[in-house]
């Protein structure tokens, strides 16, 4: 059984605060989740997802939510979960360590062990060098602009729609214009500088590489190796392309 799943998470602690899931037959599951550290549901997260700290304080715990998700899953056959982007597995990891209920632990462990980032397959399907945002893919298939609200159930539905439609078409040529640089490159001019934003804070860097160096000083408190810098630079670039936060910040390309 295929499942299309999306999580929203708190800032820094990156615990799940909402889960949306749709199976291939169209059944859906949605719930807010109260994290162990509700204070990490910051103004930035509320602005991004619409979820407030008051709402998560009133929400059921991860134990309650994921034990219900376990009951909801069809366990008569093997499961496979599809997400969009590389954040959801990490969110599940950060949540399973707080779970105490066996069924909740089992559900989260099933997700962690069987989750696939569909953005990689879709990039290959579209013959693209870089992954695109989920909203852009949905807009392509619907023929109209879709604005992503970062609601986990909406995103799970979007993902199932993109999955089904992409599997039924053959692409001969990439339907999107791709601006340089290619994925993995971290050399940008000042005219394509990178902005990191959180709440009322904003800072601009000449490149993803410079942004990676700053992140290492602020959060990791260490000097990066060349490999580590490249890895963080790529993650910042992907966060901009997929319109998802990375390391607690929203990232934008500042085209002047």
Q: 135 and 34, same structural domain?
A: yes
pLDDT number for residue 212: 87
Tens place of pLDDT per residue across the chain (256 aa): 999 999 999 877 889 999 999 999 999 999 999 999 998 898 878 888 999 999 999 999 999 999 999 999 999 999 999 999 888 999 999 999 999 999 999 999 999 999 999 998 999 999 987 778 899 999 999 999 998 888 999 999 999 999 999 999 999 999 987 654 433 333 333 445 888 887 667 788 888 888 888 887 776 666 778 888 888 888 888 788 767 778 778 888 765 4
Q: 124 and 19, same structural domain?
A: yes
Q: 134 and 21, same structural domain?
A: yes
> Within a domain: residue 15?
yes
> Within a domain: residue 177?
no
pLDDT number for residue 199: 62
pLDDT number for residue 179: 53
Number of structural domains in the chain? 2
Q: 196 and 162, same structural domain?
A: no
pLDDT number for residue 219: 67
Q: What is the pTM of this model?
A: 0.74
- The per-residue DSSP string of 87-156 comes to SHHHHHHHHHTT--SHHHHHHHHHHHHHEEEHHHHHHHHTT-SS---HHHHHHHHHTS-------HHHHH
Q: 71 and 124, same structural domain?
A: yes
CATH number of the domain residue 66 falls in: 3.30.420.10
> Within a domain: residue 175?
no
> Within a domain: residue 83?
yes
Q: 109 and 201, same structural domain?
A: no
Are 173 and 39 a contacting pair, CB within 8 Å?
Answer: no
Domain coverage including residue 202: 192-255
pLDDT number for residue 48: 84
Q: 72 and 30, same structural domain?
A: yes
CB neighbour list of residue 106: distance below 8 Å, 6 or more residues apart: 70
Q: 153 and 196, same structural domain?
A: no
Q: 218 and 163, same structural domain?
A: no
- Give the residue from 2, 243, 255, 4 showing the smallest Cα distance to 130: 243
> Within a domain: residue 173?
no
pLDDT number for residue 255: 54
Token pair, residue 157, equals: 């539905």
> Within a domain: residue 55?
yes
Q: 158 and 88, same structural domain?
A: yes
> Within a domain: residue 244?
yes
Q: 199 and 75, same structural domain?
A: no
pLDDT number for residue 59: 98
Are 152 and 7 a contacting pair, CB within 8 Å?
Answer: yes
CA distance 5 to 26: 12
Among 150, 167, 184, identify where a domain stops: 167
pLDDT number for residue 181: 40
Are 196 and 211 a contacting pair, CB within 8 Å?
Answer: yes
> Within a domain: residue 184?
no
């Amino acid at each position: 059984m295929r499942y299309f799943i999306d999580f929203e998470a708190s800032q820094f602690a990156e615990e799940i605060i909402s889960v949306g899931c749709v199976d291939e037959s169209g059944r859906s599951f949605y719930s807010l989740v109260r994290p162990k550290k509700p204070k990490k549901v910051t103004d930035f997260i509320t602005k991004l997802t619409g979820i407030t700290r008051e709402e998560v304080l009133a929400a059921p715990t991860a134990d309650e939510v994921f034990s219900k998700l376990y009951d909801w899953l069809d366990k008569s056959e093997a499961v496979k979960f599809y997400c969009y982007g590389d954040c959801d597995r990490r969110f599940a990891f950060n949540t399973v360590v707080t779970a105490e209920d066996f069924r909740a632990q089992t559900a989260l462990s099933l997700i962690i062990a069987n989750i696939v980032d569909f953005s990689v397959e879709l990039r290959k399907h579209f013959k693209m060098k870089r992954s695109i945002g989920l909203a852009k893919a949905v807009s392509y298939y619907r023929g109209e602009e879709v604005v992503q609200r970062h609601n986990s159930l909406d995103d799970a539905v979007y993902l199932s729609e993109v999955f089904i439609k992409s599997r039924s078409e053959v692409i001969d040529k990439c339907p999107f214009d791709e601006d340089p640089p290619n994925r993995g490159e971290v050399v940008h001019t000042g005219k394509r500088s990178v902005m990191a934003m959180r709440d009322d804070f904003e800072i601009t860097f000449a490149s993803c590489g410079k942004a990676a160096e700053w992140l290492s000083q602020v959060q990791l408190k260490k000097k990066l190796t060349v490999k580590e810098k490249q890895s963080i630079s790529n993650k910042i670039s992907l966060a901009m392309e997929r319109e998802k936060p990375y390391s607690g910040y929203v990232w934008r390309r500042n085209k002047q």
